[in-house]
Chain A
Amino acid sequence: MSTGTAKALELRGLRKAYRLPGGRSVPAVRDFSLRVEPGEFVTLLGPSGSGKTTVLRTLAGLEEPDAGEILLDGVPLTPLPPHQRHIGLVFQNYALFPHLTVFENVAYSLRIRRTPDVRIRDEVEAALKTLGLEELASRLPGQLSGGQQQRVALARALVMHPDLLLFDEPLSNLDAKLRFQVRSELRRLQKRLGITALYVTHDQAEAMSLSDRIAVMRDGRVEQVGTPEAIYARPATLFVADFIGRVNILPGRVVDRGGSGVTVEALDRRWNVAADRCPGAAGEVLVLLRPEAVGLTEAGQGDLAGTVEELEYRGDQTEYRIQIGGVHVVVVESSPRRTRRIVEGDRVGLRVFEDTLHILPAQREG
């Protein structure tokens, strides 16, 4: 199974508002632009209601955009109805046809296109084999587990050899362990087949592990696009920083500017921040400190001193809430690293990994 040449997707200025009965309208996507390279795996990540599903449905043709362009290798898709777009969509609830067997579910798109029976058999069997479903071909969807249904849905989309593959939270109905397993399989498969894919999730770990690039969405817009590393380490906005992982947000002030970066004052101390981590920063700023970018040491050592106010033991990790001169900082450490147990009320020293500090202008807040 291979898909021929992968195509590039380009979305320009997409807008969509839902009209409610009674005349009110709910903006769901506003001025959304994104380019997905051929064979690339891009994830739309955003909180509930940020418009992710709407973007996917508009791409598939299930919703009509109010404005904007959708181009697949430069060809506009908007005039085409869904059945002429050749885009595979994997639904959150899989949407398997309950009255058809696994084989017939997968064969559906081929039968619609009047493919000869012999080819249908070959293609469907190949797709079932790829996903390890050969044994289940004659079952009905109701007789499958969640993970198996998920695979059938994927096989059904792959067998069309779509120009573009869309996923709407396909793993959200699986339990945690299965989700982890299917996630890595999915990624391997997409790489092998080289299909251009757009994936929707609100699970950041899923987005991080699957994607070539992530587009973080907020209120129907793209807030930031970048590789998982870039999004995590160099968030463009406070929203992105806060949505992806956890972060301590500390008030600070730029006190010096050099060729290699800036010097910023925060927590009564000066820090050097590399130039690519302080986009346009001057004056009052916010200093972003990831909880895992701090290590605890004996009192009196390290860069800062504080008092443990609260701690939460989680097995593999321990989370501390530490007060440093009136400011609270959350620190997360891998648990087994320490022999002496720290308890609430202890004085501790903190070592900050200065390279990971990131600065955002203060006025971008909110």
Chain B
Amino acid sequence: MVQATGILIARPRPGLRRGRALFSLYPLLVLGLALFVVYPLGMLLAQAVQADGRLSAGTVLGLLRESYYRAVLLNTLLLGVSVAGLGTVLATGYAYAMTRVAMPGKKFFHFVALLPTISPPILMALSLILLYGRRGLITNGLLGLQSTLLYGFWGLTAAQVLAYFPFAYLLLLNLFRGLDASLEEAAWTMGAHPGKILTTVTLPLLIPGLASAVLLLFSYSFADLGNPLLLGGDYPVLAAQIYLTIIGLYDMPRGAALALILLFPVTLVFFAHKRLAERAAFASIGGRASSMRHPQFRHPAVRIGGLLFCGGVCLLILLQYATVLGGAVTRLFGINHTLTLKHFASALTASRDALVDTIGLAAAASAVSGVAGLLIAYFVARSRVPGRGALDFVASLPLAIPGTVVGLGFAIAFNRPPFLLTGTALIIVAAFVVRSIPYSIRSGVAALRQVDVSLDEASTSMGATSFQTLWRVILPLLRPAVLAGMIFTFTRSVTTLSAVIFVVSPHWALVTPTILSQMDRGDVGEAAALSVVLIVLVLLVIHGVPRLLGRDWREGTAA
């Protein structure tokens, strides 16, 4: 007993002393991050704050002085606030019902709520246009309206809330689950009915978490590019303006200055969100929680309310997916509902290159992100190499940066020597990796924290090099986390639009920009079919790959 405890106590002592192999990779990671994170951001910044070759805030200030751009900024803010408020209310209700109400169908509700997190966000715009657009099934077909209400604030709000509230739901789900159950039970025995418990105990304790959900949604709405491009109409917002300025007007400095205006609030809000989320997590799991099993309210009104709420939200989400499917299998949705496979045929032929390239490049990005993420996680959590804090910060920075800004930074930085990469596969893979590596690192660090330090100490003391230790001892334990990170990278890469729209080229076509241009041309059927193919593909990868790899890889990736 006594001897054994000496070994079991985990000391925060790095298990790395021998072995240079692993450390020789460190400069490589630093260089990679410098080239693909720091350099593009720097170039973007340089582009935005110079005029006539001199350093000047003129472009940025000039934009802010124009009433048009002030209106754009106001639009963006207003949209962000609405989406954040509405989305948080939806997410809170959903997470509450899922964690506190005794009701059937929870697995199904969870699955449906997660669908939008693995779909391209423009899917919502697509389905809303099919349902409520100028020739929409409901507005035009059923009601005979020529409504343009969809194209503007209301349509954008609806699309973004549907596309992004699930992210807030996931955040709040964990916080609802993490609250000390005995607090709510205590309130219950003291005479509070379920509604009172929610308003007097649960929600007040979750305030940091709710605030963090609001900020998260706000930054997602700010950064969204696809929906504003399709639904913006006469409601211009920042991200779309950047796109139009670059692609339509070829005005790089102006685009870069707009990107800076976008970047500033999003980054600010994101870091505020992160701090609050940390505090919320601390508040809920700190202290001595007596039980993690929360009250499951059985009052008929509560159960019916929960079912109606979750059922309603699910119906709303499923309606969008059903519509896209409908659009994919009919000749012209809303007008000619003859069934056809021609859209699928064309998705699989005309857009075959886009599909193949997307899958190939996303798979390459997954591999890179998986390996690099794990290495960075290892340096951050298990070593004392100088600069590992800065490494972590820089690698995590893209979390806080809108995809549009990353993409534009890439376009500016790699369109000229010394790093002329425009048109290559490398630039696309790099954009994918930069966008997803923060998640790989986080999941790697979290998993590494679960692995006892004494394990790699034991291995190292038996003469293994750090590389062998990582390979033989740690990697097998981390397999589920690494796989989860890789699948996440894949999903995020094939669904992103904003990060790649500035770096696609005729040599390398990608699916989401293809869908966008099909929509532009009015080929909604093809766009819908391609979207369906993409979602099916993602679902196959998420559920199929872990199963193919077997049990060792699977634990913890079920989400």
Contacts and interface: CB of A to CB of B under 8 A. Distances in A.
27 contacts: A60-B189, A61-B188, A61-B189, A81-B299, A82-B188, A82-B189, A83-B190, A83-B193, A84-B191, A86-B191, A89-B185, A89-B189, A91-B186, A92-B290, A93-B289, A93-B290, A95-B182, A95-B186, A97-B205, A98-B283, A98-B287, A108-B190, A112-B187, A112-B200, A113-B191, A156-B186, A173-B288
Interface of A: 60-62, 81-89, 91-93, 95, 97-99, 108-109, 112-113, 156, 160, 173
Contacts of B182: 91, 93, 95
A91 B186 CA distance: 8
Nearest to B190: A109
Nearest to A173: B288
Contact of B189 (A62, A93, A99, A173): A62
B191 A112 contact: yes
A112 B189 contact: no
A85 B188 CA distance: 10
B378 to A, nearest CB: 34
B183 to A, nearest CB: 5
Tell which of A83, A85, A160 has the most Cβ of chain B within 10 Å: A83
A31 B288 CA distance: 32
Contact of B183 (A60, A85, A97, A109): A97
B312 interface: no
Interface bin, chain B:
20 to 34
A60 B188 CA distance: 9
B70 interface: no
Interface string B165-209: 000000000000000101101111111110010001100110000
Contacts of A61: 188-189
Contacts of B93: none
B91 to A, nearest CB: 21
Interface in B282-317: 283, 287-290, 295, 298-299
B290 to A, nearest CB: 4
A93 B288 contact: yes
Contact of A95 (B196, B200, B204, B290): B290
A304 B244 CA distance: 104
A69 to B, nearest CB: 20
A236 B175 CA distance: 49
Contacts of B192: 83, 108, 112
Closest 7 CB pairs of A and B: A109-B190, A95-B182, A95-B186, A82-B188, A93-B290, A112-B191, A89-B189
A293 B191 CA distance: 50
Given A81-B188, A86-B191, A108-B192, 14 more contacts: A60-B189, A62-B185, A62-B295, A83-B193, A87-B189, A91-B185, A93-B182, A93-B289, A97-B183, A97-B187, A97-B201, A99-B205, A109-B191, A160-B191
A234 B380 CA distance: 63
Interface string B86-105: 00000000000000000000
A112 B196 contact: yes
B307 to A, nearest CB: 19
Contacts of B290: 91-93, 95
A93 B287 CA distance: 9
A266 to B, nearest CB: 36
Contacts of A60: 185, 189
B190 A112 contact: yes
Contacts of B196: 112
A120 B217 CA distance: 41
A108 B192 CA distance: 9
DSSP class of A's interface residues: helix, strand, loop or mixed? loop
Contact of B188 (A62, A88, A93): A62
A85 B190 CA distance: 9
B205 A98 contact: yes
Nearest to A63: B293
A338 B478 CA distance: 64
Contacts of A86: 191
A109 B187 CA distance: 8
A24 to B, nearest CB: 16
A338 to B, nearest CB: 33
A85 B185 CA distance: 13
Given A97-B183, A97-B201, A83 B288 contact: no
A97 B180 CA distance: 10
A310 B204 CA distance: 60
A156 B299 contact: no
A8 to B, nearest CB: 20
A85 B205 contact: no
Contacts of B201: 97
A61 B180 CA distance: 18
A91 B192 CA distance: 17
Contacts of A99: 204-205
B487 to A, nearest CB: 24
Contacts of B299: 81
A274 B415 CA distance: 103
Nearest to B193: A83
Contacts of A95: 180, 182-183, 185-186, 290
Nearest to A84: B191
A95 B283 CA distance: 14
A219 to B, nearest CB: 21
A67 B190 CA distance: 25
B176 to A, nearest CB: 16
Contacts of B200: 108, 112
A109 B191 CA distance: 6
B184 to A, nearest CB: 9
A15 B204 CA distance: 36
A310 B551 CA distance: 54
B280 to A, nearest CB: 13
A176 to B, nearest CB: 19
Nearest to A109: B190
Interface in B250-307: 283, 287-290, 295, 298-299
Nearest to A87: B189
A83 B205 contact: no
A98 B208 CA distance: 14
- Chain B CB count within 10 A is highest, among A61, A93, A156, for A93
Contacts of B187: 97, 108, 112
B132 to A, nearest CB: 42
A224 B190 CA distance: 32
B191 A83 contact: yes
Contacts of A173: 288
A99 B202 CA distance: 10
Interface in B430-447: none
A83 B187 CA distance: 8
A99 B192 CA distance: 17
A96 to B, nearest CB: 8
Contacts of B183: 95, 97-98
A280 to B, nearest CB: 43
A52 B390 CA distance: 52
Contacts of B193: 81, 83
A97 B190 CA distance: 12
A131 B170 CA distance: 43
A136 B185 CA distance: 24
Nearest to A86: B191
A98 B206 CA distance: 12
Contacts of B188: 61-62, 81-83
Contacts of B186: 89, 91, 95, 97, 156
